[in-house]
């Protein structure tokens, strides 16, 4: 592991360190640089200094983003190696993460900021435009370190901002290496990469320089970020946790539906924000559904490095402890595991793919975001009942409805209180489609034109005729 922090286009000397663990072995991977306060100040200063030139030259920005996409593709194998080591995810999932970066950058390049004419008459030409905010602070979680950095970086740079970026302390190396690659392309100071613990995130949100904080992480941290950003009226986008419902309609083809829902629920070992985390099944089909999910979970290949059924360990020790704790708590409340139910008998943070029956609201595994491969299946008597249970939460990221009758399923999906409702799919993202949470799952949007606009301030330009041409209006 050699990646360094990049501040003002230069490698920053590490004056303090923190340990990073390989979740597949529980061994120390290496020490990562812990950013010091004066280094963070230098990063923000460099970003501020780089802003005027960067924001004034769109052609250069587009050309550099295009070059960056190519460089990430070229560095793919190296970045994949780092991702596998620090997240534990299967190699092909890491490859998908890296190859997605070009798609997101290409979308940003192709997306133009709108100029909207609000009035064009004898009295004035009035136009709504958008301009960059200045310096953006980006704070990232550990589950998709590279692609999530790119989904923030591409639109933020596209519209002319400069940045200071902090990856999760659990997965700093791939991001720091990405930072070195980015800095081979963009001018010094445009994008600064620092690493460190939660306190560095707190310094970033309290720092006077950034005009926006874009944050992806837990609801608990998101609330702190909102308070800190609010104190300085910084713009803020929060993409936070989810406890998504998947409602199975009574016309499902049980086997294929169970396979499809489970594949989404256990994607990245269940460690993604927008995945089915509570499954609601019609009471009349309940036993058949549980059997099908159990069979699907038993086909998962824990520890395999490739293939559609491969699943890695939990990526962090706290997350591993959390999933162990939630399943133990469920057991104490009479919830049964039809398969799995505990840690795998091997080193590393591997947890057995687990299907749970007999869980309901009031048990933590249902009420909280588990973020791991343990899925409760809850019976419902009618669709109103299922919708009520699905919505009876302060989470509101995504949700899904699965069934053959698309019209009926869509009507139910429309009633889900969340940012994105899927029918026969879940947690599939496209660069052009905004992602946002309702309730506690977030503020603002990412992705799509709407997400890009969040890296700008609206700006009305009101042009009245020459005073010599007309009377003052
Ligand atoms: P986390 O909140 O613990 O940490 C996220 C980042 O915030 C880290 O870089 C951390 O160092 C930093 N941080 C922590 N406390 C902070 C504070 N008070 N001020 C500023 N920065 C702070 O989250 P995590 O465990 O890394 O990530 C998992 C969570 O992220 C899950 O809840 C998941 O649902 C959520 N998530 C949401 C989305 C989404 O798009 N909605 C996507 C991925 C993950």
pLDDT one-digit tens code per residue, 109-147: 999 999 999 999 999 999 999 999 999 999 999 999 999
Give me the pLDDT at residue 308, please: 87
Buried-exposed string 275-301: b where 16+ CB fall within 10 A, e elsewhere: bbbbbbbbeebbeebbebbbbbbeebe
- Judge residue 384's burial from the number of C-beta atoms within 10 Å of its C-beta, 0-12 exposed, 13-18 middle, 19 or more buried: exposed
Rounded CA-CA distance 415/387 in Å is: 7
SS3 at position 379 = strand
Ligand 1 center–CA 140 separation, angstroms: 6
pLDDT one-digit tens code per residue, 191-221: 999 999 999 999 999 999 999 999 999 999 9
Alpha carbon distances (Å) from 288 to 18, 62, 192, 249, 282 = 49, 53, 53, 13, 10
Which residue reads 């597949």 in tokens?
24
Rounded CA-CA distance 425/411 in Å is: 15
- Which token pair is 170? 């659990």
Rounded CA-CA distance 259/419 in Å is: 24
Helices (H), 75-208: 76-87, 91-110, 145-158, 172-183, 198-206
Q: Which atom of ligand 1 is nearest to the CA of 441?
A: 41
- Which token pair is 274? 């927008």
Ligand 1 center–CA 167 separation, angstroms: 10
- The whole-number mean pLDDT for each consecutive block of 10 residues of the chain, a chain of 473 residues, reads 90 96 96 98 98 98 98 98 97 97 98 96 96 98 98 98 98 98 98 98 98 98 98 98 98 98 98 98 98 98 92 98 98 98 96 97 97 98 98 98 98 98 98 98 98 98 86 53
Q: Which atom of ligand 1 is nearest to the CA of 170?
A: 26
Q: Which atom of ligand 1 is nearest to the CA of 397?
A: 41
Rounded CA-CA distance 183/267 in Å is: 32
- pTM of full prediction above 0.85: yes
Rounded CA-CA distance 412/24 in Å is: 40
**Spatial CA neighbour of 403 closest among 246, 244, 250, 245:** 250
Give me the pLDDT at residue 1, please: 63
Instruction: Identify whether the C-beta of residue 246 lies closer than 8 Å to the C-beta of residue 260.
Output: no
> Can you state the percent helix, strand and coil of the chain, rounding each to 5?
40, 20, 35
281-286 long-range contacts, Cβ below 8 Å, gap at least 24? Answer: 281/248, 281/377, 281/378, 281/379, 281/380, 282/248, 282/249, 282/250, 282/379, 282/380, 283/379, 283/380, 283/381, 284/250, 285/248, 285/250, 285/252, 285/254, 286/377, 286/379
pLDDT one-digit tens code per residue, 435-445: 999 999 999 99
Ligand 1 center–CA 117 separation, angstroms: 39
Q: Which residues are catalytic?
A: 239, 273
Rounded CA-CA distance 404/386 in Å is: 17
Q: Which residues contact 464 (CB under 8 A, 6 or more apart)?
A: 123, 124, 473
Ligand 1 center–CA 189 separation, angstroms: 25
Pocket of ligand 1 (CB under 6 A): 139-143, 166, 168-169, 197-198, 201-202, 205, 216-218, 221, 224-225, 239-242, 273, 369, 371, 397, 435, 437, 442
SS3 at position 59 = helix
Give me the pLDDT at residue 151, please: 98
SS3 at position 472 = coil
Q: Which residues contact 74 (CB under 8 A, 6 or more apart)?
A: none
Helices (H), 75-138: 76-87, 91-110
What separation, in Å, do the N-terminal and C-terminal C-alpha atoms of the chain show? 66
């Amino acid at each position: 592991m050699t990646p360094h922090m990049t501040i003002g286009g230069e490698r920053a000397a590490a004056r303090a360190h923190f340990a990073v663990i390989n979740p597949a072995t529980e061994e120390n991977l290496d020490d990562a640089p812990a950013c010091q306060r004066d280094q963070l100040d230098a990063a923000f200063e460099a970003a501020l200094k780089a802003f005027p030139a960067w924001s004034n030259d769109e052609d250069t920005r587009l050309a550099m983003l295009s070059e960056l996409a190519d460089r990430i593709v070229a560095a793919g194998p190296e970045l994949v190696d780092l991702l596998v080591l620090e997240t534990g995810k299967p190699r092909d999932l890491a490859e998908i993460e890296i190859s997605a970066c070009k798609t997101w950058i290409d979308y940003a390049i192709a997306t133009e900021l709108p100029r909207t004419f609000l009035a064009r008459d004898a009295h004035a030409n009035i136009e709504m435009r958008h301009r960059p905010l200045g310096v953006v602070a980006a704070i990232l979680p550990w589950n998709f370190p590279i692609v999530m950095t790119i989904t923030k970086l591409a639109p933020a740079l596209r519209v002319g901002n400069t940045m200071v970026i902090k990856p999760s302390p659990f997965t700093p190396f791939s991001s720091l290496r990405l930072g070195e690659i980015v800095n081979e392309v963009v001018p010094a100071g445009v994008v600064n990469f620092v690493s460190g613990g939660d306190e560095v995130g707190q310094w970033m949100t309290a720092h006077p320089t950034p005009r926006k904080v874009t944050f992806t992480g837990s609801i608990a941290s998101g609330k702190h970020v909102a308070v800190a950003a609010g104190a300085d009226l910084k713009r803020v986008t929060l993409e936070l946790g989810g406890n998504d419902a998947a409602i199975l309609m009574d016309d499902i083809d049980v086997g294929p539906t169970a396979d499809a829902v489970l594949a989404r629920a256990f994607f990245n070992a269940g460690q993604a924000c927008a995945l089915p985390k509570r499954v609601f099944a019609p009471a009349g089909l309940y036993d058949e559904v549980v059997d099908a999910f159990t069979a699907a979970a038993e086909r998962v290949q824990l520890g395999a490095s490739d293939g559609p059924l491969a699943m890695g360990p939990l990526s962090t020790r706290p997350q591993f402890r959390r999933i162990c704790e939630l399943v133990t708590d469920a057991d104490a409340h009479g919830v049964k595991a039809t398969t799995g139910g505990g840690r795998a008998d091997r080193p590393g943070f591997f947890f057995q793919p687990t299907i749970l029956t007999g869980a309901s609201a009031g048990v933590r595994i249902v009420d909280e975001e588990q973020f791991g491969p343990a899925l409760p299946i809850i019976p419902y008597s009618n669709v109103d009942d299922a919708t009520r249970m699905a919505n009876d939460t302060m989470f509101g990221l995504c949700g899904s409805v699965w069934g053959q009758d698309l019209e009926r399923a869509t009507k139910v999906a429309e009633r889900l209180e969340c940012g994105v409702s899927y029918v026969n799919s879940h947690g599939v993202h496209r660069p052009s489609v905004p992602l946002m949470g309702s309730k506690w799952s977030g503020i603002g949007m990412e992705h799509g034109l709407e997400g890009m606009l969040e890296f700008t301030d609206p700006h009305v330009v009101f042009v009245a005729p020459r005073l010599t041409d007309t009377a003052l209006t």
